[in-house]
Structure 1
Amino acid sequence: MPRIAIINPAFEVSYWGLEYSQPLFGKKANMPVASLPLLAALTPPEHEVVLFDENVEPLDFDELETFDIVALTGMSVQRFRMDSIVSELNDRGCFVVIGGPWVTVEEDYFGDQADVIFIGEAENTWPQFLEEWQQGSHQHRYEQTDKTDMATVPTPRHDLLKSKHYLVGSLQISRGCPFQCEFCDIIVTFGRRPRIKHASQVTAELDSLLAQGMHIVFIVDDNLIGNKKAIKPVLREVAAWQQQHGYPIVFSTEASLDLCEDDELMELMAEANIQSVFIGLESPDEESLKETKKYQNVRSRGGTMLEKVHRIQDFGMEVWCGLIVGFDNDTSEIFATQQKFLKDSRIAHAMVGLLHAIPKTPLYARLLEEGRLDLADEHHYGTNVIPKGMTRDELLRGYLETMRNAYEPDVYFDRLDQLFVHDRFQFRALNTDYFKKHRWQRRKQRTIFTVGFVAMFIRLMWKVPDADLRRTYRRQILAVVRGRFTTPEIYFFYVLKCAMHYHHHRMTSEMIDDPSKFVSTYGKAMRSDESTEEQSDCRSAADQQLTENPIAVSSPSLPVVETTTST
């Protein structure tokens, strides 16, 4: 029986990886990349497949030598580690296959080190390669010509992952986004026509995730609502599954800002138990949004961008966001503007990134033609974009100050308290008609939240080493418990926000204290001084500076698609 190893290399410490918070949760990594279990499901049964995630455990190269095929996937931020792994495998005479978003946009990067490379989606080409490999007639390069029919995608082999080590599970429902953001590589790889799985496929995956003990799941679609009409019946079936099983899974997802325009859609998301949504807001400056063709954020329907955010929050879904600095329209004033917008929006979690040009995107082509790309493989200014309205030093300093301001405890908790305490935010998912009719289920949920709150509070007080932060967290948590005592879900989520703040605050402080460790989207690792063993305990979906949206590690094919804030 041929044996296949599929590897996800280690990420560096990053914004979304929550590496410093993982010990508080008792986990080793944030979320598994979706490609590993799906590739295993696409592999014919006559092959043995073993999945390796270096973010959970170190690689054993002696063991990898025993496999007939060793396949790697990886994003741009993993490419240095990928290169190191590939070199070691080559020295040991392994048969090496490489896919992923990085080789998809830079297919010559690894030279002749790979026996086979995959470009784009691989639902068709992966089985094709395995058949040709067995016949001794495989090609060096595979690229799927047609977009995958999502109705044919099998249930991923979640059972082959070490699920107990992950904080969050991953689920993909659709691929593609209808918009045309200039910096986005999603539309390059997945196209602008959203493709959606059948509801039966989605509920089968939920059964699989639940069987592995996953109760928090991120829907990794780059824009869940890219096809609003088609997603609604799927959400109805997910809601029915939740009701049948007693609402065992809490979801987060990504969506575009036009979500606020459709009350029915928001209600269906709430009934499916989607409690938070990541939105690519990018900038409060309308000229910058128009420049990058983010037209969905500037159309007048629904009010201003700030009003649209508030509408989603007031409906009962928490908003996370992506913000970008470094657009051509940006001057040094943008940093204060971004900080004020973040405060006014009441958004606790913002991924602030430097604009970065990904190969094969319209932005990359334009800036290359203008001579405004730093083509080096390492970028000491945090981005390969040479800005137009300020110097590179000004951009980097302003970015670091924006990050520092965002996660200063007083500033962070001011935003958090404005939403959860002063404006008395309520999760709509827990106040739908189902819970009103099934009060025992509501009481059950509140009991779970109360127990979870106590456990997490103890962990926070026990494991956060900074005494000042512990005091701040204790003061803030006790205040919210007093203010929202009858809604335990609020102070449960609040204590989680404290744990997440610890990671963001520590990571940002280290960036500012030693800017030489600063990482760009395509730069070297921020903590390159750490050993492989130390890095193996770190899991992220991308660097904190990404203009890509790291939380959506969404590729279901061998090339894990490195997503952007395309929504």
Structure 2
Amino acid sequence: MLTDRGGAWSAGGTMADIVLISPRFEMSYWGLEHALPFMGRSANMPPAALPLLAALTPAGHTLTIMDENIAPIDFDRCARADIVGLTGMIVQRHRMTEILQALKTCGCSTVVGGPWVSVSEDYFGTLADTVFIGEAEETWPRFLEDWSRGAPARRYQQADKTDLSLLPTPRLDLLDLKRYAFGNVQFTRGCPFTCEFCDIIVLFGRRPRIKTVRQILAELDLLHRMGQEIVFIVDDNLIANKRAMRDILGPVIEWQRERDFPLTFFTEASLDLADEPDLMRLMVEANIVNVFVGIETPNEDSLRETKKLQNLRRGGTMVGKIHGIQNAGLEVWSGMILGFDNDDDTIFDAQLRFVSEARIVGSMVGMLNAIPTTPLHDRLAAEGRLDLDDEPAFGTNVIPKRLDRMVLRDGYLRILRDLSEPAAYFDRLDALYLDGPLSGDQGRTARLTGKPWLRRREQARFLVRATVMFARLMLWVREPDLRSEYRRRILHLARVNPRPALLFVYALRAAMHYHAWLLADRMSKSPAGVVNSY
């Protein structure tokens, strides 16, 4: 419908006043909601999709991005807009519904895209005027053209996957990046594997698509100019195309070296990274310090069941491969899943043993969840083993085969509690950094040995940050036992290995521990409000 509210006429039609919204997340493991105050930040990372859509918006339209994780939505501003767009994941679906209901009285066109509506197209019913299924780099400009002519479609879906080599640099200038703990950047999309539960290959396909070196370096330049220091490479599997990644990491290393390594990265990769020593060396040289790996389970029958065969390839045990990645200089975070068909009640202790033996400090654990459009969802629907309620009674829509649903939920909560038990958590941290292969100085300061004055300045910055975070922990953590444990561990470290970067790592991990501990504690006291990470 054509409108003259805020629109200016051009030869091509009406120019739109557009608001793009990233809704508030529900509390989650990676949300770090309880850790962010210690870090002096409001949210963990900016929304990646909206600055890219803004960059793809033709000149003449006006754009505002609102991230509800940073500040409340200005609905008065939305009421003055021609188009209000929302994106969101499964954990944002309820808030998305509330926002769309509030926008019904505004008179604007409402559009929805993102991972959740792409796999559950009818979820929002008639609340949204237009939905975007899958990637939207081609369909968003097409929609704006249709809208300017007064003929927007109800549904848009690209016929082909986006050619990443044609994408512009995201409009990060539309965000207040200082409010976020980490920046983000994308090198590739897609994953060659066939894990049954995963929606990544449904949304992005199995053929990895890659940005050019020029694009990647331009985005790094922008992040650096805007003051970012720690950046998440958001690729679902950074090494999906190993040959191409080798070609990319070389220029990234050179870019870092020319600027004295201003960016520290963390990322995601599959476990077969352990079989690629030269690739791990390049990642470390590029100042990638952490890698999230989808381990899923120590139960090999469950890995075969879910077609996670890359974790079963020859060349050593999974624990041995994780140690190999750590020995190369990369800390490993893990994703673990409970409730596969081959899991029985022994899986809970098996997972705890695995995480301890592997020296994994941060482990995201969740119950198996069947996302619509995935092979797992199709299989369980055919078997009549899906809980179809929007809020499943036991925290997951999967009805397990060999576990009672309450046993699965309670076992999940026990693992969360045990993993965040302070002594066990810091013992794993000590095993990795004090007794193991990581020094805590494998990042930027290790790259500055040829510039002692710059190295000393960087060490001083780390020391100041560690001191500030330690003070906040001592002042703001209300639980005396936790506060005492944080003090004991950090002061012990200051005596035996007083590297400023390592002190900062321990203070940061204490803040992250507080979030995980508080999340587990509150869910255990109210199991009906369980938050499932998967």
Question: What TM-score bracket applies, with the shorter chain setting the length?
Answer: over 0.9
Query: 1:505 — aligned with what?
Result: 517
Query: 2:267 — aligned with what?
Result: 253
Deviates more, 1:487-496 or 1:396-405: 487-496
Query: 1:330 — aligned with what?
Result: 343
263, 278, 291: which one aligns with 1:277: 291
Query: 1:53 — aligned with what?
Result: 67
Rounded Cα–Cα distance in structure 1 between residues aligned with 2:365 and 2:489: 24
Per-residue deviation, 1:93: 2.1
Partner amino acid, structure 2, of 1:461: M
Per-residue deviation, 1:58: 0.7
Query: 1:109 — aligned with what?
Result: 123
8 Å CA contact 1:223–1:256 kept in 2: the answer is yes
Per-residue deviation, 1:277: 0.4
Partner amino acid, structure 2, of 1:322: G
Per-residue deviation, 1:426: 2.5
| Rg comparison, structure with higher value | 2
59, 71, 92: which one aligns with 2:85: 71
Partner amino acid, structure 2, of 1:508: A
8 Å CA contact 2:261–2:444 kept in 1: the answer is no
Query: 2:423 — aligned with what?
Result: 410
8 Å CA contact 1:260–1:312 kept in 2: the answer is yes
Query: 1:386 — aligned with what?
Result: 399
Query: 1:313 aligned to 2:313?
Result: no
Query: 2:374 — aligned with what?
Result: 361
Partner amino acid, structure 2, of 1:275: V
Partner amino acid, structure 2, of 1:423: G
Query: 2:12 — aligned with what?
Result: none
Per-residue deviation, 1:436: 4.7
| Displacement over 3 Å in runs of 4+ | 427-445
Query: 1:377 aligned to 2:390?
Result: yes
Partner amino acid, structure 2, of 1:489: A
Rounded Cα–Cα distance in structure 2 between residues aligned with 1:376 and 1:56: 31
Partner amino acid, structure 1, of 2:332: V
8 Å CA contact 1:99–1:118 kept in 2: the answer is yes
Q: What SS does structure 1 have at the residue aligned with 2:294?
A: strand
Query: 1:464 — aligned with what?
Result: 477
Counterparts in 2 of 1:204-353, with a 5 A limit? 204-301=218-315, 303-353=316-366
* Residue identity (%): 52
Per-residue deviation, 1:434: 5.2
Per-residue deviation, 1:462: 2.0
Per-residue deviation, 1:475: 0.2
Q: Deviations along 1:189-226, whole A, 9 cap, x unmatched?
A: 10011111011111111111122221111110000110
Q: What SS does structure 2 have at the residue aligned with 1:494?
A: helix
Rounded Cα–Cα distance in structure 1 between residues aligned with 2:158 and 2:256: 35
Per-residue deviation, 1:514: 1.0
8 Å CA contact 2:445–2:455 kept in 1: the answer is no
Rounded Cα–Cα distance in structure 1 between residues aligned with 2:335 and 2:85: 32
Per-residue deviation, 1:350: 0.3
Query: 2:33 — aligned with what?
Result: 19
Q: What SS does structure 2 have at the residue aligned with 1:248?
A: coil
Query: 1:535 — aligned with what?
Result: none
Q: What SS does structure 1 have at the residue aligned with 2:332?
A: strand
Per-residue deviation, 1:467: 2.2
Partner amino acid, structure 1, of 2:113: G
Q: Deviations along 1:158-216, whole A, 9 cap, x unmatched?
A: 11012111111111110000111000000001001111101111111111112222111
Counterparts in 2 of 1:112-151, with a 5 A limit? 112-151=126-165
Partner amino acid, structure 2, of 1:290: R
Per-residue deviation, 1:374: 0.7
Partner amino acid, structure 1, of 2:245: I
Rounded Cα–Cα distance in structure 2 between residues aligned with 1:351 and 1:279: 10
Per-residue deviation, 1:62: 1.5
Q: Deviations along 1:393-423, whole A, 9 cap, x unmatched?
A: 1101111111110001111111111111122
Query: 1:90 — aligned with what?
Result: 104
Q: What SS does structure 2 have at the residue aligned with 1:91?
A: coil
Query: 1:183 — aligned with what?
Result: 197
Partner amino acid, structure 1, of 2:347: I
8 Å CA contact 1:36–1:51 kept in 2: the answer is yes
Rounded Cα–Cα distance in structure 1 between residues aligned with 2:160 and 2:458: 44
466, 485, 503: which one aligns with 1:491: 503
Deviates more, 1:166-175 or 1:437-446: 437-446
Determine which structure has greater relative contact order: mean sequence separation of CA pairs < 8 Å that are 6+ residues apart, divided by chain length.
1
CA spacing shift, 1:434–1:83, aligned 2, 3 Å: closer
Q: What SS does structure 2 have at the residue aligned with 1:422?
A: coil
Rounded Cα–Cα distance in structure 2 between residues aligned with 1:451 and 1:258: 38
8 Å CA contact 1:51–1:160 kept in 2: the answer is yes
Partner amino acid, structure 2, of 1:506: L
**Unaligned regions of 5+ residues in structure 2, if any?**
1-7, 9-15
Per-residue deviation, 1:304: 0.4
Q: Deviations along 1:462-512, whole A, 9 cap, x unmatched?
A: 222222211110100011122212x32222101110010011101110000
Q: Deviations along 1:377-399, whole A, 9 cap, x unmatched?
A: 11120100000011101101111
Query: 2:176 — aligned with what?
Result: 162
Per-residue deviation, 1:460: 1.7
Query: 2:3 — aligned with what?
Result: none
CA spacing shift, 1:15–1:84, aligned 2, 3 Å: same
Rounded Cα–Cα distance in structure 2 between residues aligned with 1:419 and 1:321: 14
CA spacing shift, 1:501–1:434, aligned 2, 3 Å: closer
Rounded Cα–Cα distance in structure 2 between residues aligned with 1:121 and 1:28: 28
Query: 2:185 — aligned with what?
Result: 171
Rounded Cα–Cα distance in structure 1 between residues aligned with 2:287 and 2:358: 23
8 Å CA contact 1:430–1:442 kept in 2: the answer is no
8 Å CA contact 2:239–2:270 kept in 1: the answer is yes
Rounded Cα–Cα distance in structure 1 between residues aligned with 2:161 and 2:367: 31
Aligned length: 520
Partner amino acid, structure 2, of 1:183: F
8 Å CA contact 2:264–2:443 kept in 1: the answer is no
Query: 1:396 aligned to 2:383?
Result: no
**Unaligned regions of 5+ residues in structure 1, if any?**
520-544, 548-567
Partner amino acid, structure 1, of 2:398: V
CA spacing shift, 1:133–1:235, aligned 2, 3 Å: same
Deviates more, 1:427-436 or 1:105-114: 427-436
Q: Deviations along 1:18-38, whole A, 9 cap, x unmatched?
A: 101111111111111200111
8 Å CA contact 2:433–2:440 kept in 1: the answer is no
Partner amino acid, structure 2, of 1:386: I
Query: 2:533 — aligned with what?
Result: 546
Deviates more, 1:178-187 or 1:447-456: 447-456
Per-residue deviation, 1:231: 0.9
Per-residue deviation, 1:424: 5.1
30, 33, 39: which one aligns with 2:44: 30
Query: 2:23 — aligned with what?
Result: 9
Q: What SS does structure 2 have at the residue aligned with 1:372?
A: coil
8 Å CA contact 2:394–2:528 kept in 1: the answer is no
Q: What SS does structure 2 have at the residue aligned with 1:359?
A: coil
Rounded Cα–Cα distance in structure 2 between residues aligned with 1:168 and 1:8: 16
27, 31, 44: which one aligns with 2:58: 44
Per-residue deviation, 1:431: 8.6
Rounded Cα–Cα distance in structure 1 between residues aligned with 2:292 and 2:457: 28
8 Å CA contact 2:441–2:502 kept in 1: the answer is no
Partner amino acid, structure 2, of 1:229: R
